[in-house]
Amino acid sequence: MALETILKTLAMPFITSNKEVRTSDVLQYLLPKDAESRLRDAEAALHAATEWAQETLNSIGDAVVTTDLDSQVTYLNRVAETLTGWSGAEAIGKPLADVLHLIDSKTLQATPNPAQRAMQENRTVGLAMDCVLIRHDGSQLEIEDSAAPIHDRNGRVIGAVIVFHDACQSPTQSAKLAYQAQHDALTGLPNRVLLSERLTRAIGLAHRHQHQVALMYLDLDAFKPINDSLGHALGDHLLQSVAGRLSDCIRDTDTVCRQGGDEFVVLLSEINKPQDAARIAEKILAALAEPYRISNHELRITTSIGISLYPDDGTDDPTLLHNADTAMYHAKKSGRNHYQFFRADMNALMMQRSHIEAQLHRALEEDAIFFDYQPRIDIATGDICSVEALIRWRDPTLGLMPPPSFLPVAEACGLIVPIGHWVLRETCRQLQAWRKQGVDIVPMAVNMSAIELSDKTLPARIADILAETGLDARFLELEVTETDLMHLTDASASTLFELSDLGIRIAIDDFGVGSASLMHLKRFPISSLNIAPCFVHDMLDNPDDARFLKAIINLGQTLDMCVIAKGVETQAQLDRLTLQGCDGAQGFLFSAPLSATDFRALLGGPARTTWQQHQVARGLPPGSQRTHAE
C-alpha cells in the first residue's frame, strides 16, 4: 500500500460503539460542557480513534514506522516488527538509524534514511534504489517505498512516517526478476532460457505454416587476446557494441541471444530459402568487421558463423543448436570471418576434433610433439640464411597430423599457450645444443599466435628461456601472421617492442593475404616480411600477382626489412624472384621439411653447404625442380 493511501485511510471516519465518528465529532467535545463529562467523552473518543488507527495500520500489508522530530522511533505496526525484527517495545524510543538500518546493496555503505530528508525538505521522498534493510538479527532484506513528514494542526513538522515493503514481493520486483531470468545482464539481450522458448515457438509455427527457421551460432574471432590484454571492462564494452550491431542486422521478429562469453546466437524465425539466412550472415560479417572505437582504442574484430536450418538440419532445439555450433567450428577452422551451413559430414569431423583434443593433452604430457625444419635460402649467395621450425604431431590413431588439423583445436580448447611454451623452449634448446656440437647455427623462426602475444609475461618468459639455455636472442625469430597483426591490441604491440628490445627478430608471415596497411608496418618493430606462397605460385601466369610481388619486395626493402618468398617450387619462380631483387626464398625447390638429424647434417660444421651442394649430396642436379608432392 502506498504512503498516500495510508494517509487517506487514516483520515477516513472510524467506528466506535456502533457509531460512525469523525475528527469533527472528537472536536465537539471541546465545546462548553460539564468539564468532567467533557474530559471523559474526549478520552473515550481519543482512545477509540487510537485503537482504530492501530488496527488499521496493523491490517495493511506494508510496514509503517513513525518518528518524532529527533528521529526517535514512536511507532511500528506489526508488519514493520516482522520485517525489521524489532518489537514495538524494543524499538520505541530508539534512534531510527538503529531500527531501520539501511545500506546500498552494491556498495554496502550506509544510505541516508528518507525520514530525515522528508522532515528537512517537508515533502514525500522515496528510498534510494537498491536499498537493503539490515534486520535486528543481521540478515538482509531488500525494501522499497517512501517517507513523508507528519504535521501538527498548525502545519509544523513534528516527525515522519516511513512506509515500506519487501521488494521481492512487489509486482515491480517480480517483473524485474522475471526479466533478469530471461536476459543477459551485460548486454540486455535474451539469454539461453528465452532463446529456447522462442526457438520452440518458431519451430511450431514453421511446422504449421510450412516455412523454414534458421539458427546462427556466432563466435568472435580473436576476442580473448583483446579481453586479456586490455582488461575485462573494455572487453565488456566491446561485447555490448557487438550486441548492438547484431540487433541492428535483424528483423523485429528475430532474436539475438548472448550464449555466453563471446558467443552469440541469432534466431531467424521465418525464412523461405537458405539464401535468406546467407544474406543476413553476410550483413552481420560486414557490420561486425567495422572498427570499434572504445576508450581511445581502435579495435577490429571479426566473427565466424555456423548456420543450421529447420527442418533440414534438425527438428528440435538441442539438435539445431548443436549443428549450428558444429558449422561454426568449421567456419572458424577454414579461415574465420565467414559463414558455413551445416552438413551431415561435419558431425564425423567434430568427433575427430574431440579425439584430437583429448590426444593433444596426452601429447604434451608425453612429449609426442616435435619439429621438422625447412631451410630458407639467401638468393644472392645460395647459403642457408635461416630456418623455419614447423611443429608436428604424430597421433597414435590418426598418424602424422599437419598443423592446420590440430592447432585450431588447440586454440579453441586452451592448449595453444602451453604448446607455445613448448615451442619456444624447444627451439632455444635445440639451437644451443647444435651450437655446442660445433654447428654454425642460423636464426630459427617459429609461429606466434595473437593469443600468445596477449600474454604480458611473454617477454620475461622468453628472457628466462634464453638465459637458461644460453642462446643469443638474435637467433630467435617470431612470426606473426598478417591477419593476427591487424588484430593486435596496444598491449600486444607493446609486447612486440619488448621482444624486439631483447634482440629477437619479428616477422610478418603470409604477407599479402590480409589487409594490413602501411600504418601497421610502421607501427610494429618488423624485421622481415614473408610473402604468402599463393603469390609466388601464380606470379608467372598472372601479371597482377607479379606486379604485386614486386611492390611488396620494394616496400619491405624500403622499410629496411628482409623479404622472404615462401612456396618456391620451380627454378623459373626462383629466376623471377632473383630478377625482382627478393632477399630470400623458402620452398620445396630447395628442401622439403627435414628431421632434426637431417637438418643438423645440412648445417654441417663451420663451412655450411649451399642448397645446390645439398641437392647434389641427395642425388639431384643443382637447380632441379622439386614439388611439395615429393
- Confidence (pLDDT) at 387: 96
Whether the CA torsion 555, 560, 566, 568 is positive or negative: it is positive
Domain that holds residue 380: 369-617
**395 close to 356: Cβ distance less than 8 angstroms:** yes
**Domain-embedded: residue 504:** yes
Mean pLDDT value across residues 306-325: 94
pLDDT at residue 460 is higher than 90: yes
Measure the CA–CA gap between 183 and 257, rounded to whole angstroms: 8
- Of 153-157, 279-283, 313-317, 624-628, give the lowest mean pLDDT range: 624-628
pLDDT band for 52, please (50, 70, 90 cuts): low
> What average pLDDT score do residues 467-487 get?
89
| Least confident range of 14-18, 265-269, 296-300, 343-347 | 14-18
- d(C-alpha 180, C-alpha 552), whole Å: 54
End residue of a domain, out of 278, 310, 344: 344
- What pLDDT, on the 0 to 100 scale, is given for residue 296? 84
pLDDT of residue 220: 94
Q: Is residue 612's pLDDT more than 60?
A: no
Q: Which of these three, 138, 173, 208, is where a domain ends?
A: 173
CB atoms within 10 A of CB 520: 17
**pLDDT tens digits along 207-237:** 988 999 999 999 998 788 788 778 888 999 9
Per-residue pLDDT at 310 exceeds 60: yes
| Contacts with 597 (C-beta within 8 Å, 6 or more apart), sequence order | none
Residue indicated by cell numbers 528518507: 114
CA distances from 200 to 266, 288, 329 (A): 14, 28, 24
178 within domain boundaries: no
Based on the fold, state whether residues 163 and 192 are members of the same structural domain.
Answer: no
Average pLDDT over residues 238-255: 94
Residue 360 lies in a domain: no
- Mean pLDDT, residues 387-399 taken together: 88
Helix/strand/coil percent split, the chain, to 5: 45, 25, 30
Tell me: do 195 and 230 sit in the same domain.
Answer: yes
Same domain, 43 and 111: yes
Q: How many whole angstroms from its chain centre is CA 217?
A: 15
Lowest mean pLDDT among 31-40, 387-396, 583-592, 607-616: 607-616
Domain for residue 208, yes or no? yes
Which pLDDT belongs to residue 625?
42
Same domain, 199 and 339: yes
pLDDT at 19 > cutoff 70: no
Q: State the pLDDT at residue 54.
A: 60
Side-by-side strand order, sheet with 263-271: 255-260, 263-271, 212-221, 302-310, 339-341
Is 429 found in the same domain as 524?
A: yes
Sequence-ordered alpha helix ranges (H) in 393-442 = 403-412, 416-436
Same domain, 409 and 291: no
Angle between helices 346-366 and 416-436 (to 10 degrees): 50
Where is the domain boundary, 173, 199, 229?
173
Average pLDDT in the 510-523 region?
A: 71
Q: In the prediction, which pLDDT does 622 show?
A: 44
Question: Pick from 388, 417, 392, 396: which is nearest to 405 by CA?
Answer: 392
Instruction: Tell me what the mean pLDDT of segment 503-510 comes to.
Output: 93
147/16: higher pLDDT? 147
Mean pLDDT of the 552-562 span: 91
Residue 28: CATH number of its domain: 3.30.450.20
CATH number at residue 563: 3.20.20.450
d(CA 446, CA 479): 6
pLDDT at residue 171, rounded to an integer: 55
Residue 27 confidence class, pLDDT cut points 50, 70, 90: very low
Check pLDDT > 70 for residue 539: yes
What is the domain-level CATH number for residue 212?
A: 3.30.70.270
Extract the C-alpha cell encoding 122: 517537508
Instruction: Tell me: do 206 and 143 sit in the same domain.
Output: no
Residue 528's pLDDT is 93
3-state SS assignment for residue 545 = helix
Indicate whether 555 and 410 sit together in one domain: yes
Query: Can you spell out the DSSP letters for 29-43?
Result: GGSSS-HHHHHHHHH
The mean-pLDDT minimum among 10-19, 100-109, 494-503 falls in 10-19
CA-wise closest residue to 564 among 544, 583, 541: 583
Is the domain of 134 the same as that of 251? Answer: no
CA distance 255 to 603: 61
Same structural domain for residues 278 and 198?
Answer: yes
pLDDT exceeds cutoff 50 at 137: yes
Q: What is the mean pLDDT of residues 463-484?
A: 93
Q: For residue 45, what pLDDT is reported?
A: 57
In a domain, 627, yes or no: no
Q: Are residues 132 and 105 in the same domain?
A: yes
Tell me if 358 is assigned to some domain. no
Q: Is there a domain that residue 484 lies in?
A: yes
- pLDDT, residue 515, reads 60
Please report which helix (H) or strand (E) contains residue 569, including its range. Answer: none
Per DSSP, the three-state class of 86 is coil
The CA distances from residue 261 to 97, 141, 218, 265, 281, in Å, are 43, 31, 11, 12, 20
> What is the DSSP pairing of strand 19-21 with strand 476-481?
unpaired
Task: Give me 298's grid cell.
Answer: 581502435
Range 595-604 average pLDDT: 91
Q: Whole-number mean pLDDT of the chain?
A: 83
What's the domain count of the chain?
A: 3
Within 8 A by CB and 6+ apart from 32, the residues are: none
Q: Is residue 625 part of a domain?
A: no
Is pLDDT above 70 for 238? yes
Buried b (16+ CB within 10 A) or exposed e, 76-110: bbbbbbebbbbeeebbeeeebeebbbbbeeeeeee
pLDDT of residue 215: 97
Residue with the larger pLDDT of the pair 7 and 244: 244
Is residue 280 classed as helix, strand or coil in its secondary structure? helix
Residue 624 has pLDDT above 50, yes or no: no
Q: How many CB atoms lie within 10 A of CB 449?
A: 19
Top-confidence residue, 383 or 355: 383
Q: What is the rounded (10 degree) CA torsion for 434, 437, 440, 442?
A: 10
Q: What is the pLDDT of residue 524?
A: 86
One domain for residues 406 and 294:
no
Q: Sort residue 485 into left (φ over 0), alpha (ψ -120 to 50) or beta.
A: alpha
pTM comes to 0.54
| C-beta separation of 452 from 484 below 8 A | no
Q: Is 438 left (phi over 0), alpha (psi -120 to 50) or beta?
A: left
Using pLDDT thresholds of 50, 70 and 90, give the confidence band for residue 10.
very low
Q: Give yes or no for residue 35 having a pLDDT over 70.
A: no
Half-sphere exposure of 418 (CA within 13 A, CB side): 13
| Higher-confidence position of 390 and 50 | 390
Give the mean model confidence (pLDDT) for residues 249-262: 92
Residue pair 263/246 in contact by the 8 Å Cβ criterion = no
What pLDDT is attached to residue 38?
59
